[in-house]
Amino acid sequence: MLVYLAKRLAYTVPIVFSVALVCFMLVHLSPGDPLISILPADASVELEQRLRIQYGFDRPLPVQFWIWISNALSGDLGASIANGRPVLSEVLQAVRNTLLLACTAAVLGFALGMFFGLVAGYFRDSWIDKLATSIAIAGVSVPHYWLGMVLVIIFSVQLNWLPAVGAGPGNWSWTWTHLQYLVLPAVTMAVIPMGIITRTVRALVGDILSNDFVDALRAKGLGEGRVFLHVIKNAAPTAIAVMGLQLGYLLGGSILIETVFSWPGTGFLLNTAIFQRDLPLLQGTILVLALFFVFLNLFVDMLQAMIDPRIKRG
């Protein structure tokens, strides 16, 4: 197990480096001068020049990359051009919010998806299966920004039960004052992973049930409840792998939902950074998100290796 862990950790080093390089290149290849957004229209050439040197935009790209990456390694991602605050604290704050939202949505989606998938697979072709499958198809097909707006109209505007936007006043706390802000975006976000997990698990259960060992379990006198338990344990590794990928998408692909609900997470931050051409902020956010993906996959691999003995360790 330790050898496996060490190996997987070693693999992440070149991946992280390439990711950093690519996101640096992408940002600098895109058109537009980062200074335009902060310079007043009548700024002198001198001022522009001074700022350019101050931010280091005058140096050759490889040098800029080197400075950026070595600073990044020591935890300094530079300062935002738009508001001058350190990128790292901005990003970390946003990451925390996104994590909160994505994890809530993932837990919700995974729990519901596992439930629907297991039930649908076990009672294949029954009305329960048809119901669960319909929910799953609706889940993956409905555009979630649209669903988000519909939910806002119903629960915020019409019923006035839940707030429509933001993450609540001040710092986050686990109280209803803040939690009520989480409900609508989390539910909206959970719908897609729920649909995908449902479909995956339903197919998996079908496969597992067609195995001889299910007959063998019944043949040794286990009741259906116990057999079901074996089915769950057999389905879990794959379901977790799929969920890991989904969590990745939720962390990175939440721009639309965060924008609809003005949730102050990384998606929202990226959106702002792009529109303000805030290069340091953009680079920092992308890098942190990419690192997230890498470590998330690592974590999922470890988890799988722990549950399913057939995945080779070492």
Partner 1 sequence: MKPVVSVRDLTVSFHGERTVHAVNGVSLEVRQGEVLGLLGESGSGKSVTMRALMRLLPRKRTRIAGSIEVDGRDVLAMKDDELSAMRGKVVSMIFQEPALALDPVYTIGAQIAESVVRHEGKSMAEGRERALEMLERVRIPSPKRRLDAYPHEMSGGMRQRAMIALALACKPKILLADEPTTALDATVQIQILLLLRELQAEMGMSVIFVTHDLGVAVEICDRVSVMYAGKVAETGTLANLVRDPRHPYAQGLLSSTVLGARRGERLTTIPGAPPSLSQPPQACSFEPRCRFAVASCAIQRPPEVDLGERRMARCIFAEKTASEKIASLQPTPA
Where along the sequence are the contacts to partner 1 (CB under 8 A)?
A: 211-213, 215-224, 226, 230, 233-234, 237, 307-310
- Helices marked H in 152-265: 176-209, 212-219, 224-252, 255-260
Using the minimum distance from each CB to partner 1, give the nearer residue, 31 or 312: 312
In DSSP terms, 86 is beta-bridged to 79
- Assigned token pair, 143: 């555009």
Q: Select 79 or 217, whichever has its Cβ closest to partner 1.
A: 217
Question: Taking the complex as a whole, how short is the minimal distance between the CB of residue 223 and partner 1, in angstroms?
Answer: 5
Of the pair 238, 276, the CB lying nearest partner 1 is at: 238
Smallest gap from residue 218 Cβ to partner 1 (A): 6
Rounded to whole angstroms, the maximal C-alpha distance in the chain is 86
CB of 221 to partner 1, least distance (A): 3
Task: State the nearest-atom distance from the C-beta of 36 to partner 1, in Å.
Answer: 58
Helix, coil or strand: residue 59 = coil
> Is the CB of 143 or the CB of 223 nearer to partner 1?
223
Provide the H-helix boundaries in the chain.
2-29, 45-55, 61-73, 87-122, 127-141, 144-151, 176-209, 212-219, 224-252, 255-260, 266-275, 279-307
Nearest to 254 by CA among 246, 242, 243, 266: 266
- Whichever of 62 and 309 has its CB closer to partner 1, that residue is 309
Residue 211 Cβ vs partner 1, minimum distance, rounded to whole Å: 6
Helix 2-29 vs helix 61-73: crossing angle, to nearest 10: 140
